[in-house]
Amino acid sequence: MTKTVLGTVHGSTIQLQDDLGLPDGQQVEITIRAAVPTSGEPWGEGLRRCAGALAGLPGLDEDMEQILRERKLAVFREISE
């Protein structure tokens, strides 16, 4: 049987939201993966909050565009030994 159930971590205990339907004492194998928050925020909002010092920096978009243009024009050469 494979079932996905959400739970909440409390120290070393995980409180499950649903009954598993298994008898008491049944041995189980657990795989842990953090759930994706369903906060209703638009995609990328978490990244924008994490941007720290760069958030709202005037001219950042223009600077990044210039960096990307220059990278596309870059010419690489082999360095002789």
pLDDT reported for residue 54? 72
pLDDT reported for residue 23? 92
Q: Where do the structural domains in the chain lie, given as residue ranges? A: 1-36
Per-residue three-class SS string for 10-72: ECCEEEECCCCCCCCCCCCCCCCCCCCCCCCCCCCHHHHHHCHHHCCCCCHHHHHHHHHHHHH
The share of the chain scoring above pLDDT 70, in percent, equals 91
Mean pLDDT score, 50-61: 76
